[in-house]
Structure 1
């Protein structure tokens, strides 16, 4: 990223451009995902695509600048909420259900889960945090006898990626069908109880 990280050093018109780009990127990415064309962000911000590159260095820098608003806050809230649930079964069910709900509502979250912008340090940090939580959740679930012994953190990660791919490339099914399938996933990984 060039000078977008230090807005106080920018001329007022350049500072306004940076602010407009951030707002436009957050809106476009939230609505259409992290792979939305930068031309669309530029058009929404009423700047040239070159201005995005000059101020943010490209897609990765732009994603770094807006990831909190389009994905990180909600993903981290889901993890934080799951950690407050003392019952292991409730924790697994709440986390998987909330994550799948967020995936259904947020194309940007699916872009994070699919690591669509590997050059974004903030995105990759978020992925690592999610993977660490998956390992924690699976270890706790297996220790409590809630999850089948065969379930691994990699399996949980793969299920989230599978959901992201289906939503990204297959479209959004009716909500009732999607929720029913979430139940199938939970019934498949959790032991009866």
Structure 2
């Protein structure tokens, strides 16, 4: 294990703190110059300490977005009734997509060389598959709705938020209600 000098360790810590702030506010593709300026180091220092953007993303992904995304999944898992679980999860996922631009970079798999980012994507995809299967088994989701549709909804939303005109929060929340109204049956079929 290589021990860093005190100043090098301090620089690495400042870079991590700055990266968390910049990536949460601007997304994982924010210019590294912004991270360097916020950390009061040169861009070269980021490359020396982390090997570049992907190394920096891997170093801070948990603090930027992974912990919060895992919490959204865990919170949804704790909801007993499947209709409520789906509504809770979709609402929470869309909320975090709106609040934290880095989530959209994760969902769009913008940095496929990041093993941590891709592992997070795969965990989310597996949860989507499970949620859709449970929703169908309980008759809560319309029969035509597939795991691929679920993935497309999250990616379409990510693309719209990343590259489109950002709607007001009230319009965004209203559209979340439309999404849920379209995929969930209004009345459960009789058994």
Matched, 1:138 2:132: yes
For residues 43-62 of structure 1, the C-alpha deviation after alignment (integer angstroms, 9 at most, x for no partner) is 11111111111111111110
Match of 2:58 among 61, 64, 70: 64
- Contact conserved, 1:89 with 1:146, CA < 8 A, in 2? yes
Normalised TM-score (structure 1): 0.94
- Contact conserved, 1:22 with 1:62, CA < 8 A, in 2? yes
Structure 1 segments of 4+ aligned residues over 4 angstroms from their partners: none
Distance 2:52 2:161 in 1: 26
Normalised TM-score (structure 2): 0.95
CA drift of 1:115 comes to 1.1
Match of residue 45 from structure 1: 39
CA drift of 1:131 comes to 0.2
Match of 2:147 among 133, 147, 153: 153
Match of residue 107 from structure 2: 113
Match of 2:90 among 74, 78, 96: 96
Distance 1:183 1:86 in 2: 21
CA drift of 1:96 comes to 0.2
For residues 8-50 of structure 1, the C-alpha deviation after alignment (integer angstroms, 9 at most, x for no partner) is 7100010001001000100100010001011111111111111
Matched, 1:28 2:22: yes
Distance 2:149 2:49 in 1: 39
Match of 1:180 among 174, 179, 186: 174
Matched, 1:171 2:157: no
* Structure 1 residue runs without a partner (length 5+): 1-5
